[in-house]
Amino acid sequence: MEILAKPRRPLASSGRKDTVISVIIPVYNRFQYLDQALISVFAQTPGPGEVIIVDDCSTESLQKHLDRFPPPGQVRVLRTDRNRRVAGARNWGWRHAKGDLIAFLDSDDIWEPHKTKVQLDFLEANPGLDGVYGSMIAFWPDGRTQLWASNRPSTIETKYALIDCNITVQTLLIRRTALELLNGFDERFGILDDQDMTIRIAESGLRIGFFAEPPVTRRRCHDTNYSDRSTMYFREEYRIVSENRSRCNLIYGSGSERVHLARALTRLSLTSRLLRLPALALARYLFATAPNSKMPRTLWTVPSETSGDSGCNLRQPVRHGFSPAGKLRTAFRTLGEKGPAAVLSLLQRNLRAAVRILPAGLVRVGTCSFRPSDEATRCRLLSGQYEAPERLGTRRYIRRDIPVIEFGASLGVVSCLVNRRLKIPQNHVVVEANPALLPILIENRDRNRCKFEIVHGAAGAQGSTVRLYIGSDALNSSLLTPTGSSVEVPAVTLGEILEAHAFDCCGLICDIEGAELSLIRAELATFQSKVEIFIVEFHPAIYGWEALDAACRLLMEHGFDTVWRQDNTVAFKNTALAQGSSSERHLDRPGIALMS
């Protein structure tokens, strides 16, 4: 059983013979996201050989943020001799590393669970490469997400490196020998060290591979992003322009150094209100003075690998908000098709959704607020449909004075709402298998000041591991349906949790995408003696109605009665335990028919 508040499993080797991966995480005062970054590293299969956190002379204490992570020897903390900024901190880390493969992660970003595996597989299939990098998913506090750096060329060349096609360091896995050849990052740069390194890689002849799918890192976009400092960004971009004038003219033609500078000014005009107009005016002048240059004028475009034409936009715009005209068209169409009552119902739904909208992309559900994982989940939260049967069932049947165990927490919506109602909120244990959801779950728990304990694991035999399949949507994970990538997670039993926390009885909530039948059959004796109320969402699309009915009959033969059902969510009462407790009036309802 893996408890996030306690030391976790030992780090594994990379899984390849004689290969050790060292992960370098530089940090300077920004500790609030560090735990999520570390969780994503420990979720890798295979895991890294060592994790090095480089404290770049932070003014705050780092140690208190590491107390719940593995003991010394598994995570090394190095402190620089002075504040060296991110490039210097990365150099400090990899030069002290023991691995022959080096990976980098910023303290506010998150690795996808499959990053290490897919990159090692890629290097194994292409042994001549010196490293590999990939695309990212950028995400904002308001819930927006956007694919980032997905149109990089398959090989690094100087013509690409000069115009925004830099390596994304957060996704990079590179051989130590290559870093030694490059002498690491140029510490004169605080932001564009990645672009400078990309140019030097292209000039050195090193081979770095790229793949766009699947994305391997999630980049957090927020107000304190170091790379969002517009004037500093421009100064460093001007340094790159100055140092690569001859290369620009040689590759793109006469006057290209002016186009290169104009591109930097255009970017400055987009990020600085004060300098917007003068920067844009000067950029237009420079563009006009270099008519023969073939360097792209548009930002975030790359030349095609087969021609000199402009390629695709690397950062596709994401549209948000709504169109008033579109809302009116919907209302008139509804009026014509279904009448005035339907329009009133539509208006009520929109008003309810509007009440749930909170600043910074949060959504209100009951007394809590949550950050959705994507736009589809946000829409379901706003409409009130997200886990609606489970929320109703737990509100009706989970007593406030008993411990609660929950298998399958997802974003933590049900977890937080239940925890806020408990008399002793510490008597609440939540089990979640998907490592990609753990950072969101922790964030939602802490935002709502809930006190439940999070256990990383999945229902299974004690002391073993189980394979979890994760689809393209982080919410779409299952132990039974092979799809997308997979990850090994520690197995957890209901009896193990009850014994570890000395719970005499509990209310059990279960939404584990088809594995509920195995849980019922494997721990039937524990159900009979310890579970007072059992609320479960069944998934007959996975195992069929016949298997579902057999599980319901098995529970009823061992003292459970069905007291409530909505859609595929059912509440079972343990009649023997409920008779000896101060049961609420809901538990006295007569049984209902089986699902079919």
CA dist 467 → 299, 391, 422, 478, 511 (Å): 43, 28, 33, 9, 17
Which are the contacts of 106, defined by CB distance < 8 A and separation ≥ 6? Answer: 25, 26, 37, 86, 169, 170
CA atoms within 13 A on the CB side of 586: 16
Q: What is the pTM of this model?
A: 0.51
Spatial separation of the C-alpha atoms in residues 185 and 145, rounded to whole Å: 29
Highest mean pLDDT pick, 9-18, 225-234, 255-264, 490-499? 490-499
Same-domain pairing of 397 and 256: no
Same-domain pairing of 347 and 420: no
Same-domain pairing of 37 and 158: yes
Indicate the range of 7-16, 43-52, 208-217, 293-302 predicted with least confidence. Answer: 7-16
Spatial separation of the C-alpha atoms in residues 414 and 96, rounded to whole Å: 44
The predicted structure's pLDDT at residue 173: 93
Residues of the chain with pLDDT > 90, as a percent, come to: 25
Residues in the chain: 596
Instruction: Please report, in angstroms and rounded to a whole number, the separation of the first and last CA atoms in the chain.
Output: 35
What's the mean pLDDT when you consider all of the chain? 79
* pLDDT confidence band for 225 (50 / 70 / 90): low
Q: Which residue has the higher pLDDT, 335 or 208?
A: 208
Identify residue 379 by its one-letter amino acid code: C
Domain of 522 in residue numbering reads as 368-374+382-588
Q: The domain spanning residue 204 has which CATH number?
A: 3.90.550.10
Of 219, 251, 281, the one marking the end of a domain is 219
Mean pLDDT of 338-360: 61
Structure tokens given for 398: 């989970």
* pLDDT confidence band for 542 (50 / 70 / 90): confident
Spatial separation of the C-alpha atoms in residues 43 and 406, rounded to whole Å: 21
Spatial separation of the C-alpha atoms in residues 120 and 18, rounded to whole Å: 13
Sign of the alpha-carbon torsion through 334, 335, 337, 342: positive
DSSP annotation string for 123-150: HHH-TT-SEEEE-EEEE-TTS-EEEES-
Inside any domain, residue 362: no
Same-domain pairing of 281 and 331: no
Residue range 377-425, pLDDT digits in tens? 777 787 777 888 999 999 999 999 999 999 998 889 999 999 999 999 9
Indicate the range of 322-326, 403-407, 588-592 predicted with least confidence. Answer: 588-592
The predicted structure's pLDDT at residue 591: 38
- Nearest Cα to 311, choosing from 130, 153, 114? 153
Of 219, 247, 279, the one marking the end of a domain is 219
Say if residues 46 and 117 touch (Cβ distance below 8 Å): yes
Count of C-beta atoms within a 10 Å radius of residue 183: 9
Residue range 149-168, pLDDT digits in tens? 777 877 788 888 887 777 88
Q: Tell whether the model's pLDDT for residue 549 goes beyond 70.
A: yes
Backbone angles phi and psi of 459, in degrees to 5: -60, 125
Same-domain pairing of 417 and 507: yes
Total domains present in the chain? 4
* pLDDT confidence band for 532 (50 / 70 / 90): very high
CA dist 188 → 86, 87, 194, 292, 320 (Å): 10, 8, 12, 32, 38
The predicted structure's pLDDT at residue 475: 62
* pLDDT confidence band for 189 (50 / 70 / 90): confident
